Each structure stands twice: as C-alpha cells, then as structure tokens.
Chains A and B, each alone.
Chain A
Amino acid sequence: MSVAIEVQNLRCEFRVNAGWFAAEKRVIAVDDVTFSVPAGSVLGIVGESGCGKSTLARLILGLLKPTAGTVLVDGKRLFDLDRKARARLIQPVFQDPFASLNPRHRIKDIVALPLTAQGTFSRAEIERRVAQILERVGLSAAMGERMPSQLSGGQRQRAAIARALVLEPRIVICDEPTSALDVSVQAQILNLLADLRRDLGLTYLFISHNLAVVEHVASEVAVMYLGRFVERNETDALFRAPGHPYTQALLQSVLTPEPGRGVPDIGLGDAMPDPANIPPGCRFNPRCGIAVERCRRVAPTPMVRAPQGMVECHLA
C-alpha cells in the first residue's frame, strides 16, 4: 500500500515572551514525532487541549515551518512543492466553520477560491465543479448564493468541506471538524465525511478530543501528550487494550450514555501539562498514578505493541 503522509522526526518550537522582565520561554509544541499514514486510511489523533494537535496539522499542511524534521506528502517533500501543487494534494477542514469562511463572500465564491487560485481553470469549468461539489456535500444551489452568516453551523461545515474537496485532493486534514456542532449535526457531518472518503478514496488525518468520534471514524489512532505520540495502534486494539496510563485515563473519562454507571475516578491530579515546562524523565510522570522512581529520571522510548503499534511507557 502506498504512503499518503510520512512524518520524520518532526519538531516545532515557539519562543514566547513571558513578560517584560521574565526570560523568553521555549514552548515545544511538537517534540520529535515520526509516523506514516497509508493511502486510503484514517489516522485519528486525540489528546488534551494544547498538546500540539493543531500545530502538527499546520506543519503537515505547510502552514508552519518545522524547527526540524521532514514531511513527505504522497512521496514528495512538502517544501519542494509550491503552494498550488500543495493545494491540489492536501486540504484542511478546521473546527470553527465561521472563522474559516470569509464573511463577506458568497458560499459559492468561497468554494470556488481554491480553483481560481490555481489560475488554470476556465469560468465554465469552475462553475461546473462548484455546482457538483456543493450538491455532493448536500448544499442546494440556493445555499451557494448565501453569505456564511445565513447558514447554520452544520451547513457552514458542509461548505468548508466542499471548499476542501473542490480541487480533488488526495488527503484531507480535519482539525476538530465537528467540535463546534451539536451531536445531531455532528452525526450528519461524520456520515458525510465517511461517504466522501469511501467514494473518492481519500486519506484523512482526523484530529479530535472526542474519543467516541475518533473510534467511529479512524482506522488507526495516535494519542498525543505534550507534543509526542505516547501511544499509537489500530483503533480496535487501542480501545480494547490501551497500554499507556494516559490512554487509559482518556478512555475512562469518556462518558458513554449508560445510566447508573456514575462518573469514574480517572486518578489524575490537578497538575496540568505545560509545553513550556516539560518534566524530565517521562513527560506524563507528574500525573501518572503508577509512576516509579525511574519515570522521573529516564524518558521512555517507543516500544512495539501488537498488532501494529507502539507505546512510550516503562511499565507498559
């Protein structure tokens, strides 16, 4: 099977001012991440706010330059490609469909933008393609005439998906595409994304903090913590037998709609992870309920985990 996305030793640091007299802080948002995504599959990425998911998405989209490491998309080095070639290969769908659509343009012009930016499509071709993709995502031609503010959240997300697909890319990076939506609308959008993937043979990188959603859409799942993948495996294996204590806590905190089961004690303290201050040893150790002395000194290295995965924990 061919590889759609290949990421090698990717690292991204930000330097932030902590105040007038404080020293400049180094935020390590993505810390030496390596993985690949086979064509036609869906890699789900889960993790808490600030763990680096969106930064990783922006690095893979070429919107952000890495501090170190490489990204290959469809076998080509991302930074060898110009913007137009990149746009034909890989497209984003972001969380907030309102912020990501220009409020002063009609929906059909917003959807046409990637085509016009290429500069190689005729007016007639653009109109044909826009009409086709709007219909495919379930928006009527009349919706195409409206402004973003005149659409519901779900309709706006459909428009954002149409814009991402109008150039017929191979890969779509979905960063929390349904987090701002109600469950009813979320279900509509997830079903649409699944249909499109099947019919068009797309590859998705699917970022979400909702584990139930990720389990539903992803063939493989990576768990991110303070900039690193701490566990990765086939979806069923990861959900059935999570190896990392953090993955276990995440799974326990999913509140399934089963009455009478109460809210579990997930056993994490209130120490919150801070990417400007990554603890020595295992980065999870201040919150880990089973940490041993070695965890505070030595960082765990990736260990193979059946059938296809890895985990970074001394005790897994």
Chain B
Amino acid sequence: MSALLDIEDLEVMFGGRSAAVRGASLQVEKGETHCLVGESGCGKSVTALSIMNLLARGGRRAAKRMSFAGTDLLSLSDREMARLRGNRISMIFQEPMTSLNPAFTIGSQMAEVLTRHKGGSRTAALERAVELMGRVGITAPEMRLGQFPHQLSGGLRQRVMIAMALMCDPELLVADEPTTALDVTVQAQILRLLATLKRELGLAILLITHDLGIVARVADRVSVMYAGEVVERAPTAELFRSPQHPYTRGLLSCVPVPGRVQRDRPLGSIPGVVPAIGPGFAGCAFRSRCSHADASCEREIPRRQAGSAHDYLCRLAPEFSEPQPA
C-alpha cells in the first residue's frame, strides 16, 4: 500500500542560481507523526510549502512523484488544490500571525474555513469552532469567538491555529515549527495536544522542527534533511539508537542532555555551516563539514540500507556499534 503522502525526488528552484530542495524523498503514512528535521536553511519549509503549492513567487517545484491519498498533487489545477488545502490537508506555521487575519475575529475566521469547504450554516460552523477550541485546551471558547488575534497570547494564537486547521477533519496536518516561537511550558502543552489529536482522530502529522528533543518525544518516524536532500530516514527509536549518517551523528552530539551534561567538557559540534549548493554540484553536500570525507565523496553517493525501514545517503557502510554514553 502506498503512503498517505508520497514524495519522490522533489526539486525546488528559486531563480536558478541555487536549488533549495534537491531530490528529497519523503513518505508520511496514514495516522503517523513524521518529523522532518535539519538545520535552518536545509529546505524544510520549502518542502512543506511545495506540498501545499504555496511557494513564494519565482519558486518552481518538480518531482518524480508527489501524491496525497492516491491523488497526483502536481497535476491539480489551482482551484482543485484550493479545495484540498485547509480541508483534507491543513498547515500551521511557526508564526501564527502569518495566517490569522488581524482584521477579523477568531470566530469569523474559523467559521469561514468550514463554510467555504463544507457549506452549512454559520451557526453550525461557530458551534464546531467552540467545540474544537475546547478540545485544544482554550478556556472560555465562546468569549474567544469575538476576540481579534492580537488580543490573544502567543500560545493561545497557536492553539487557535490548530483548532482552525482541524475544522474540516483533515487527514494530514503539516506543522512547520509550530512551537519554535513559544515558551517551553507552552511548547510542551501544544505538543502534548498534537499527540492526543493524532491518537484520537487518527490524524497524520508532518512535523517540521530543528529540535531533536521534540523529534525523540513525538515522532514515529524521522527524515533528516541536509542541504535540500533527505540524508537519513528511520523509525525514531532506531535513528537515536544507531544513527548512520555523519550529519545525523553530529546533530545528536550537539544537544546538551539535562541530567547528563558534563560541565567543563565541550559539547560535540559540527564545524562550519550549511553550504549553498549551485547547479551542477555532484557528490555529498556534507563533505565540507564531514570528518570522514575523502575523494570518493565527490562522486555520486549511494543510498544505503541500515534496516528494513532505515536508509541513508553516505559512502560509509552501516555501523551498529553501541552508541557512546552521552
């Protein structure tokens, strides 16, 4: 059976000087939480926006395959895509104010989503809005209907965004760094909420983050992105137990783990930064930062299998040594 969202070899270009996404492949199964992780500039948001067909002007996408529930997303007209968006696929952004209109009340914005896609009366839509706001942990939801976005705190606005994204019972929720701008306590509350919704509604979630702590706690499977490519894919526990790509290993070594940190011992780190990759580039994009790089890394790199659902893009053979105690 094919995945709910199935992307193969996605390419995204802006202008043509450098490629933002270079052959990324990503599968999200029905009902799973799938995390897309990587440093900033790796192409996570551009990947999400290509799925929604919301790329900024000048952005062009191409792929071998890009299908959602069996529908080919690439061949949909703008109108057909607009019928899917906010309906069967919803997206929430890092900064809720980018998708809430400051001039309209919370109630009218939420109701509009439902009446546009599913019809029905405004009263029924408002009732559903109240029900969903209660569900995402907003106190006094009736009062919120009449409020404007700027009257809510950041955490409440993000909850409103989630409730709004759920108005039409989507099958897939694409969440781009939904908690990065929030305090840790609010972040924990929002992530817990997403986990509950996934469990109770069977919602599939593509969660984009740069935080490996979040990945560990909420993901079923993980795709690690580097310089526009997905360089490693694995079930979560396996990725943390035996990461294979040197980039994944590097990322994991950078994270200070509370209760296990040793002060006076330096943290692991990855030297340098994500490079901009121009057209005609060949070989491994990580080689400028990789301590294992040699001449063969300038040639085409094979995708290697490290488990039945675990693969990675590196010339090195898999290694299953016990991970070092952090």
Question: Which positions in A face B, CB cutoff 8 Å?
Answer: 48-49, 152, 154, 182-188, 190-191, 194, 209-213, 215-217, 219, 235, 239, 249-266, 268-272
A235 proximity list for chain B (CB < 8 A): 263
B211-248: contact bitstring with A at CB < 8 Å (1 yes, 0 no)? 11111111000000000000000001100100000000
Q: For residue B231, give the distance in angstroms from its CB to the closest CB of chain A.
A: 14
Closest 6 CB pairs of A and B: A255-B213, A187-B269, A253-B188, A187-B254, A187-B267, A184-B270
Q: 10 other contacts beyond A191-B269, A259-B237, A266-B189, with CB at 8 A cut-off? A: A154-B273, A183-B254, A187-B269, A188-B271, A209-B183, A216-B263, A217-B263, A256-B259, A265-B192, A268-B189
Q: Interface readout for B52-88 with A: 1 if CB under 8 Å, 0 if not?
A: 0000000000000000000000000000000000000
User: Which of B184, B216, B270, B273 has the largest count of A CB atoms less than 10 A from its CB?
Assistant: B184
Minimum CB–CB distance for B18 against chain A, Å: 15
A263 near B259 (CB under 8 angstroms)?
no
Q: Which residue of A lies closest to B194 (CB)?
A: A263
Question: What is the CA–CA distance of A74 and B163 in the complex, to the nearest angstrom?
Answer: 53
Q: Are A185 and B273 in contact (CB under 8 A)?
A: yes
Find chain A residues with CB under 8 A from B40 CB: 182
A189: nearest residue on chain B (CB-CB)? Answer: B269
Q: Name the residue on B nearest A180 (C-beta).
A: B40
**Shortest distance from the beta carbon of A121 to any chain B beta carbon, whole Å:** 33
Q: How far is the CA of A188 from the CA of B253 in the complex (A)?
A: 12
Q: A268: which B residues are within 8 A, CB to CB?
A: 185, 189
Within 8 Å by CB of A257, from B189, B240, B273, lies B240
**When the two chains form their complex, are residues A257 and B187 in contact, meaning their CB atoms are under 8 A apart?**
no
Contacts of B183 in A (CB 8 A): 48-49, 209
- Shortest distance from the beta carbon of A275 to any chain B beta carbon, whole Å: 13
Distance to closest chain A CB from B312 (angstroms): 18
In the bound complex, what is the Cα–Cα distance between A268 and B258 (angstroms)? 21
Most B C-beta atoms less than 10 A away, residue of A154, A251, A258: A258
Please provide the chain B residues from 241 to 299 with a CB less than 8 Å away from any CB of chain A in the complex: 250-259, 261, 263-264, 266-271, 273
Which residue of the partner chain B has the closest CB to A211?
B258
- The listed residue (B253, B258, B273) touching A251 by CB distance below 8 A is B258
Chain A residue, CB-CB nearest to B239: A259
Give the A-B pair count, Cβ closer than 8 A: 144
* CA gap between A272 and B156 in the complex, in Å: 9
Alpha-carbon separation in the docked complex, A98 to B297 (Å): 34
CA distance A26 to B215 in the complex (A): 41
Q: Answer whether residue B99 sits at the interface, using C-beta atoms and an 8 A cutoff.
A: no
B185 pairs with A191, CB closer than 8 A: no
For B149, list chain A residues within 8 Å (CB): none
Q: Take A191-B267, A265-B192, A270-B138 as given contacts and tell me if A186 and B254 are in contact as well, using a CB distance cutoff of 8 Å.
A: yes
Per the CB 8 Å criterion, the residue count for chain B at the interface is 51
A216 and B210 CA atoms in complex are apart in Å by: 20
B182-217: CB near A (< 8 Å → 1, else 0) gives 011101110110010000000000000011111111
Q: Bound state CA distance, A216 and B255, in angstroms?
A: 10
Chain B min CB distance to A135 (Å): 16
Smallest Cβ-Cβ distance to B140: which chain A residue: A270
Q: Which residues of B contact A185 (CB under 8 A)?
A: 39, 269, 273
C-alpha gap A187/B153 in the complex (Å): 31
Pair A270/B215 contact, Cβ less than 8 Å: no
A260–B237 CB distance below 8 A = yes
A256 pairs with B257, CB closer than 8 A: yes
Q: Are A269 and B139 in contact (CB under 8 A)?
A: yes
**Chain A residues, Cβ within 8 Å of B187:** 253, 255
User: Nearest Cβ distance between residue B155 and chain A, in whole angstroms?
Assistant: 7
Cα distance, A208 to B256, chains bound together (Å): 14
Known: A209-B184, A270-B156. A257 touches B261 (CB 8 A): no
Closest to B196 in A: A263
Asked if A152 and B273 sit within 8 Å, CB to CB, the answer is yes
Are B217 and A183 interface neighbours, CB within 8 A?
A: no
Contact across chains for A257 and B213 when beta carbons are under 8 A apart? yes
Please give the distance in Å from A193's CB to the nearest CB on chain B.
11
Looking at the assembled complex, report how far the CB atom of B40 sits from the nearest CB atom of chain A, in whole angstroms.
6
Expressed in whole angstroms, the Cα–Cα distance for A191 and B211 within the complex equals: 19
Please report the C-alpha to C-alpha distance between residue A239 and residue B269 in the assembled complex, in whole angstroms.
24
Give min CB distance, B203 to chain A, whole Å: 16
Cβ of B318 under 8 Å from chain A: no
- Scoring A154, A191, A215, A270 by chain B CB atoms within 10 A of each residue's CB, the highest score goes to A270
Measured between beta carbons, the chain A residues less than 8 angstroms from B267 are 187, 190-191, 216
Q: Does residue B137 face the partner (Cβ distance < 8 Å to A)?
A: yes
CB atoms of A272 and B263 under 8 A apart: no
A254 with B269: CB separation less than 8 A: no
* Contact A255–B268 (Cβ < 8 Å): no
